[in-house]
Chain A
Amino acid sequence: MRRLILLLLCLPVWCAQADEPDMLLYGQARFAALTERPLEVLTLLENDHTGATHIDNDFHNEDHVLAIEASLRLGLADQAIELADHLLFTARKESHKSKARLLKARALAQQKRFDELVRWLEKSLSHLKGDMRDEAWFLVGRGYTETKRLADAARALSRISKGSIWAAYGYYNLALKYAQDDPDPSRAWVALRVAAALAGDTREGQALRDRALTVAGNLALEVQDPEKAAQFVKAVRADAMEAPSAIYLYGMSEAQAGRLRTAVRTWHRAKKYALYMPGVAETFQSIAWAYVQENLKGSAIDAYLEAISVYEKEQQQTRQLLDELRQKGFLELVRAARAEQKSTDWFLNTELVNNTPRVMFVNALMTDAGFFGQVTELLQIRDMASSLEANRRKLAILEDAYRRASGGSTRQAVNKIDRLEQRLGQLIARRNDLVGAYKEALAANDFARIGSESLLKARKRLDAVVAELKRLKGVLPGPTYRELSRRAIRLRGRLVWEDMAGMDESRQSFADRIKVLDGLIASMRDSISRLRERARNGRVHFAERMQQIQRMRARADATGDRLQRVLKTMDQAMTTEAINRLEQHLDRMARFHVRSQLALVNLYDALAVAEYAPERVRENQR
């Protein structure tokens, strides 16, 4: 963490003007952030590979903002707070400082440190403007709501600008607290009405309004105010997640008002939804009950038979799901549900009718805020484990490739150096032979061997001439032969004279040549020695790299194993929780099933009695 701050802050003093690398780094991190890859954001921003940023640099501050947001997305609230404090300290622009203040508040809220959150925002709010200010007031409201200071929460929420969805969220949360704590639902209704009115027409706003209206309707029914309940729930959209609950509640309000036919007609609309959705299972019984109340016993029997069949089917499907959960765990169930629902916002999919029981169960779980938080954490850990696993594979490939490459190239280099050294040895041997022969000739006064090359050639030519002369001895006239012989002897004498005269020069020249040769040999020896050193260093370099890779592999393996253990433990906990919920659902279905069967038996009894009674009367009359 400190390293991230240091990298973001200190590295780059020397490249303050390097705008393009900064822009590239920021742009890449922004791309990763906007495509929902917070882990990549942090990887990039802890990396100075494309250049670095500088304290007095807008990109640096924006990088910080991205890093804080990514940390929050990954549930690393401590890191987010540390980064936000750092940004507050270093940023010069008020816009960056404001973002840091708000992001720190979000991190405190994520950690549920509500008292600190309120204190922090009380001193920061004057610096915030626009939507950031609205969100800050919402967070203050949340802080007060969670610490049960509901009047203060209401005051905070009243400061949010008109038309901001933050106000709607705030009033919704407040209403839930009022509903929990106060038996009189008036204040909760007011808050829910305000939330619904402020929610706006965005997809998010509409979903919030549906939720608020359903809660308000439920509260109204609890205090036996069917007209008010109907008023609320009939405004819920047909494709909302809350639609089945709203339909059930609307039917209930009609029934409470004595309009049973309308209630039945309403309830029929809820039959298409999955039984895990609140209100759907009740709907089947309610229809049958309403027929009984209307004295339509035949219809009631049909309705109970249908209910029994639906509950049986639901129990069977729930048992299958339970088996799947017990065998594969919750994570696998979520994965399968995700695969079935191809939409990106899979848990927001409101295709309530066509979804499978698995998808419906997972979707229903996700509407529970506590469960949603745990699943998010579980999925984050799972994604991190996958990313680490991919990196482990990369490291294995790298290690393998490096081992092969380093082994091959080092062997080649060593062989080459050996061959060079062999040739150098041969050269030195020849040089030594030459020097030895020279010394020998010098000791034997063999000037001819030491003499210059031209004299040596002349001597050879003279030897050839003398040999030719000897061959022609009988052919040439005597005086000519003698004359030529004398001239040959004179020439030889001249050559000896020349040899002796050039002796010093020739000796010096030989010594110079040997010196040059020795210089060359020494330089070659140095080169070979340097090559050997380099090869040795290369081996060291490769070895260091290999060690680096291996160290990293070991760390990745250890972290991966720990991650898997934590993942398994979390998955087990979630599996247990999901099993509990499914078992509760199964029990509920079993109870509905039994109740429906009993009701059916009672109905048949009543029918039988009704048929039997007139017969008895007739019999008695006879």
Chain B
Amino acid sequence: MRFILVLLAMLLSTVTHAEPSLQAQAAQLKQEVVELNREIYELEESLLFPADTQLVVYVAMDSDAPFELDGVELTVDETPVTSYLYSDRELQALKQGGIQRLYMGNVAAGPHTIVAVFNGRGQGNRYMRKAARLRIDKGADAKYIELRVRSSGRSAAVPDFVVRDMK
């Protein structure tokens, strides 16, 4: 009887002291990091970019756009706010339907001018630098703008650079 009790006690102590395996701990931690990242992302956005002043600019490309995008420069009301150089992998991701969030910032309500300058290579590996401009009226809601490179309706060899208010 005593032996059984000792055995039970030993078993119990093993059970209570058993820690999850390293793999299990790692999986749980990964899950926690994913959740934390999301919450921090939300908090940061709500604190730094409240909806009433938020301006977000996205970059997208049509898969058949005859243009190898090297980089984009963005100005808001004649102030350069960001520029970005694309790697091959990022360019392919854009051509496969990926959308890049290029810029997130704050602007006051009222009219603003957005200018995007696209640098890259067009047909025949020819260097191109094209600007597209858009006037927007910022209201009380967040404003989403899309910069898109697509093939022109006039000719398949000529790219179109569009700045669009997504409302």
**Which residues of A are interface residues toward B (Cβ below 8 A)?**
1, 3, 20, 23-24, 27-28, 30-36, 39, 42-43, 46-47, 49-50, 74-76, 78-79, 344, 377, 380-381, 384, 387-388, 391, 394-395, 398, 402, 545, 548-549, 552, 555-556, 559, 562-563, 566, 569-570, 573
B99 and A27: CB pair below 8 A? yes
- Tell me the minimal C-beta distance from B159 to chain A in angstroms: 19
Count chain A CB atoms within 10 A of each CB in B27, B32, B99 and give the residue with the most.
Answer: B99
Q: Give the size category of B's interface with A.
A: 35 or more
> Across the interface, do B36 and A552 meet the contact criterion of CB distance under 8 Å?
yes
A75-B27, A391-B40, A402-B47 known; A31-B93 Cβ under 8 A? yes
CA separation between A23 and B89, bound complex, in Å?
A: 21
Given contacts A27-B98, A42-B34, contact A562 B29 (CB under 8 A): yes
The answer to whether B43 and A28 have CB atoms under 8 Å apart is no
| Contact between B22 and A76, CB atoms less than 8 A apart | no
Cβ of B77 within 8 Å of any chain A Cβ, yes or no, is: no
* CA of A622 to CA of B32, assembled, Å: 94
Q: Which of B88-112 contact A (CB under 8 A)?
A: 89-90, 92-94, 96-101
- Which A residues are in CB contact (< 8 Å) with B37? 39, 42-43, 387-388, 391
Partner of A30, one of B31, B39, B90, B93: B93
Which 4 A-B pairs rank lowest in CB-CB distance, beginning with the nearest?
Answer: A27-B99, A31-B98, A34-B93, A46-B38
On whether the beta carbons of A49 and B58 are closer than 8 Å, the reply is: no
Known: A549-B43, A552-B40. A31 touches B94 (CB 8 A): yes
B82 at the interface (CB under 8 A from A): no
A505 smallest CB distance to B (angstroms) = 51
Contacts of A36 in B (CB 8 A): 89
If A74-B30, A384-B29, A566-B25 touch, whether A34 touches B36 (CB-CB below 8 Å) is no
- Give CA–CA (A384, B42) in the complex, Å: 18
Q: Are B44 and A398 in contact (CB under 8 A)?
A: yes
Does A49 lie within 8 Å of B45, measured CB to CB? yes
Q: Is the CB of B41 within 8 A of A43?
A: yes
| Docked pose: A384 CA to B25 CA in angstroms | 14
On whether A47 and B93 interact (CB within 8 A), knowing A24-B99, A35-B98, A75-B30, the answer reads no
Contact of A35 among B23, B25, B33, B89 (CB under 8 A): B89
User: Does B137 lie at the interface of the complex (its beta carbon under 8 Å from any beta carbon of A)?
Assistant: no
Given A24-B99, A30-B96, do A381 and B30 touch, yes or no (CB 8 Å)? yes
Partner of A43, one of B25, B27, B34: B34
B34: chain A residues within 8 A (beta carbon): 39, 42-43, 46, 74, 76
Set of chain B residues within 8 Å of A34, measured between Cβ atoms = 89, 92-93, 96, 98
Q: B95's closest neighbor in chain A, by CB?
A: A34
Taking the closest CB of chain A, its distance from the CB of B96, in whole angstroms, is: 6
B48 to chain A, nearest CB (A): 8
Min CB distance A434 to B, Å, is 45
Q: What CA separation (Å) do A391 and B60 show in the bound complex?
A: 27
**Is B1 among interface residues, defined by CB-CB distance under 8 A?**
no
- B27 contacts which chain A residues (CB < 8 A)? 75-76, 78
Bound-state Cα–Cα, A535 to B90, Å = 47
In angstroms, Cα B42 to Cα A545, docked, is 13
| Interface membership of B64, Cβ < 8 A | no
Give which listed residue, A344, A384, A552, A569, contacts B33 with CB less than 8 A. Answer: A384
Q: Are A30 and B97 in contact (CB under 8 A)?
A: yes
* Residue of A76, A377, A391 ringed by the most chain B CB atoms within 10 A: A391
**Contact check: which of B26, B42, B101 meets A570 at CB < 8 Å?**
B26
* Proximity string of chain B (11-26) to chain A, C-beta cutoff 8 Å, 1 when within and 0 when not: 0000000000011011
Q: Does B144 contact A (CB under 8 A)?
A: yes
CB proximity of A82 to chain B, nearest CB, Å:
11
How long is the Cα–Cα vector from A78 to B58 in the complex, in angstroms? 33
Give the residues in chain A near B31, CB-CB below 8 Å. Answer: 1, 76, 79
- B38 neighbours in A (Cβ, 8 Å): 42-43, 46-47
Which of A35, A562, A573 interacts with B90 by CB under 8 Å?
A: A35
Closest Cβ of chain B to A401, distance in Å, is 9
Q: Who on chain B is nearest to A569 by CB? A: B22
Q: Mark B39-64, 1 if CB is under 8 A from A, else 0.
A: 11111110110000000101010000
Query: Does A47 contact B42, Cβ atoms closer than 8 Å?
Result: yes
Return the chain B residue nearest A7 by Cβ. Answer: B38
CB-contact partner of A388 in B33, B45, B48, B98, under 8 A: B33
Can you offer 7 A-B residue contacts whose CB atoms are under 8 A? A24-B166, A31-B99, A31-B100, A34-B93, A43-B34, A49-B42, A549-B47
Contact B43 A548 (CB under 8 A): yes
Add 15 more A-B contacts to A402-B47, A570-B22 (CB < 8 A): A27-B58, A27-B98, A27-B99, A28-B58, A28-B98, A31-B100, A35-B90, A35-B93, A35-B98, A74-B34, A75-B30, A391-B36, A548-B43, A559-B36, A573-B22
